[in-house]
């Protein structure tokens, strides 16, 4: 079995992974799907390799709807990552999830409307299973690491992803609560969908920065307040990565998600177009390598 290579996608307030211990380098990774949000910063903490992308770019120049989610996941796949840990800011839809709490999200409701949601569909069609969109193994490791880093951690929760960039109206916020959603954000989808298509186990460690607009007696959400809470929690997030590196076993056992495409591809191999195969050379790398070895 191979070792761990964690791709980290840092959200608002987390624009760098902190002190990597060895083999540190920053590289510009090209993608068939356009430009990723930022160069990839690589390095090691102990025996674990990390590759970090700033989701909103250097200087937070990309709004949630402008992030090239396909390019980010494709770039991490090209770097050889085995798993993806996303770190994001979220609003709370529950009284007991107070600002400062870290939530290991495990379900999603998608309310985004204008984003590329799939790598597939032009020359190769695939339908991956997404009933359980988060990798339970990685999510547990991340939640345990956050707790050891000093965070108050809530395990499990449903994240409603909205298009943004505006925050919710009060009516919308009440609606999402009635659906049973626990937290709200703008970036986890289509990110989690694309990670599954790329056969990358995905976990989301989200930091509550505010109560959403459902508290009628209080003022609405302001971006400045969110960023202030995120900056206060950024160091805890960096310590979480160090704790995660210490907790992961040296050898990474295989995950079922590593072979998510086995039952997903519906276009027969004989019908794959050359253009699609070239575009998907990273996403479908395992299948293409196995086919080459057989042929």
Taking the alpha carbons of 186, 38, 156, 144 in that order, is the dihedral positive or negative?
negative
* CA neighbor of 85 nearest in space, from 117, 50, 60: 50
Query: Residue 175: CB partners within 8 Å, gap ≥ 6?
Result: none
Q: Which of 83, 212, 216, 281 is catalytic?
A: 212
* CA neighbor of 93 nearest in space, from 10, 139, 154: 154
Q: Is there a catalytic annotation at residue 110?
A: no
Rounded to the nearest 10°, the torsion over CA 275, 112, 30, 63 is 150
Q: Which of 74, 106, 182, 210 is catalytic?
A: 210
Taking the alpha carbons of 170, 173, 175, 178 in that order, is the dihedral positive or negative?
negative
Calpha distance 199→62 (Å, rounded): 26
Query: Residue 266: CB partners within 8 Å, gap ≥ 6?
Result: 125, 126, 127
Q: Is there a catalytic annotation at residue 212?
A: yes
- Catalytically active residues, by annotation: 210, 212
């Amino acid at each position: 079995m191979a070792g761990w290579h964690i791709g980290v996608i840092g959200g608002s307030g987390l624009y760098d992974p902190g002190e990597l211990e060895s083999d540190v380098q920053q590289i510009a990774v090209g993608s068939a799907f356009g430009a990723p949000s930022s160069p990839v910063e690589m390095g090691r903490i102990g025996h674990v390799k990390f590759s970090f992308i700033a989701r909103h770019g250097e200087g937070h120049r990309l709004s949630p709807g402008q992030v090239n989610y396909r390019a980010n996941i494709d770039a991490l796949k090209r770097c050889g990552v085995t798993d993806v840990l996303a770190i994001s800011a979220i609003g709370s839809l529950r009284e007991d999830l107070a600002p400062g709490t870290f939530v290991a999200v495990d379900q999603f409701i998608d309310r985004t409307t204008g984003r590329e949601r799939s790598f597939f569909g032009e020359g190769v069609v695939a339908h991956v299973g997404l009933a359980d969109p988060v990798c339970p193994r990685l999510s547990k490791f991340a939640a345990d690491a956050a707790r050891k880093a000093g965070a108050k951690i809530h395990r499990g929760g449903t994240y409603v992803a909205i298009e943004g960039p505006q925050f919710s109206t009060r009516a919308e916020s009440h609606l999402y609560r009635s659906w049973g959603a626990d937290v709200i954000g703008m970036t986890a989808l289509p990110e989690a969908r694309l990670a599954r298509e790329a056969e990358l186990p995905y976990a989301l460690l989200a930091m509550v920065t505010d109560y959403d607009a459902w508290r009628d007696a209080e003022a609405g959400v302001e971006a400045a307040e969110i960023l202030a809470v995120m900056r206060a929690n950024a160091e805890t997030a960096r310590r979480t990565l160090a704790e995660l590196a210490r907790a992961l076993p040296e050898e990474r056992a295989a995950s079922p998600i590593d072979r998510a495409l086995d039952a997903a591809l519906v276009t027969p191999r004989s019908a794959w177009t050359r253009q699609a195969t070239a575009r998907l050379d990273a996403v479908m790398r395992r299948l293409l390598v196995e086919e080459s070895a057989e042929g």
